[in-house]
Amino acid sequence: MNNALVIIGNQSLEKERIRALIAALMENGARMGALRWLDPGRVCDIPFSGLERERTLALAERFLAGVPADIAALAQEGRRKKLLIADMDSTVITVECIDELAAACGLRERIAPITEAAMRGELSFEDSLRERVRLLENLPETALADTWQKRIRLTPGARQLVQTMRANGAHTALVSGGFTYFTEKVAARAGFHSHRANRLEIAGGRLTGRVGEPILGREAKLAALNEFCSKLSIAPEEALAVGDGANDLAMIGAAGLGVAFHAKPAVAEAARVAIRHNDLTALLYLQGYARDEFAG
């Protein structure tokens, strides 16, 4: 069987409905392999061939309408990826760091809407970042540490994702349109091999309102994907890229497995796979890892 249908429920799946789906796929010409439970009762992996992946996915989504589950139809070949390249804000962590910094100086209501518009692709990421950082001028440097300690948390499943892929020989890279102050700490906490992001300028213990150039945005994320692939001597098809915002779309589109994670609507629509109901361990299930293979 050269394809796999992956169904990831955020609660137990109805086995009768799964059996009915398999029967419907067979009636439409699919040849089905033996169902495998990656997480008993909740996540199943069904090998198939003889039916286009798009058609298979459409049938699965119809049969599971209303069920809180993420569904993907993927090629079996090369399923376990050799590179993970991940966005940070609202992907590997639960918040947008710049919005949390803005809260420290009473500017969340001005800055957060700009962040949201940029993530939806309505504004230039680079220009909007310059504008948001400019509004943070004179913010004490101590606000960075305070924000890290009080507001930054890993997204559930982040450490298991990174550690499991590392344990299986993949390179893991955190590539963010945020700031190096935070990527350094998040990368260490989650276990990424490497990280890169933008640099906040600081002088006299306060933010200057400027960000180092060039800004790491959409095209820089794509360039990072290609750079890592070149260094690892792998093709982009062997990479997994995940993010939530418009500045992640280029790398998501170029990777063999591009995933929109709890993403803005335009990003979820454009990505080949969208995770809406589950945490980051869903990216391991997409690669065929079972729950008892998770590390971290």
State the span(s) of the chain assigned CATH 3.40.50.1000.
83-293
Q: Full-prediction pTM beyond 0.95?
A: yes
CATH 3.30.70.260 domain residues, the chain: 3-75
Structurally, at CATH architecture level, domain 3-75 sits in 2-Layer Sandwich (3.30)
Beta carbons within 8 Å of 270's beta carbon, 6+ residues apart: 249, 252, 253, 260
Residue 221: which H helix or E strand, with range?
Answer: helix 218-232
pLDDT, position 16: 94
Q: Which residue has the tokens 């089905």?
A: 32
Low-confidence ranges of the chain (pLDDT < 70): none
Fold (topology level) of 83-293: Rossmann fold (3.40.50)
User: What's the rounded Cα separation, in Å, for the pair 97 and 101?
Assistant: 6
Rounded to whole angstroms, the Cα distance separating 165 from 168 reads 5
Contact criterion met (CB below 8 Å) for 190 and 162: yes
Q: Of 70, 89, 98, 128, which Cα lies nearest the Cα of 274? A: 70
- Which residues neighbour 19 within 8 Å (Cβ) at sequence distance 6 or greater? none
Rounded alpha-carbon distances, angstroms, from residue 234 to 38, 166, 230, 249, 253: 27, 16, 6, 20, 17
**Alpha-helical regions (H) of 96-196:** 97-104, 108-119, 125-135, 142-151, 158-167, 180-190
Query: What's the confidence (pLDDT) of residue 1?
Result: 87
Phi-psi region of 18 (alpha: psi -120 to 50; beta: other; left: phi over 0): alpha
Closest CA to 281 of 269, 290, 271: 290
The pLDDT, as a whole number, for residue 296 is 80
Instruction: Supply the pLDDT for residue 140.
Output: 97
Q: Which of 89, 99, 244, 248 is catalytic?
A: 89
Q: Which one from 39, 45, 87, 248 is the annotated catalytic residue?
A: 87
User: Distance between CA 284 and CA 141 in Å, rounded?
Assistant: 37
87 part of the active site:
yes
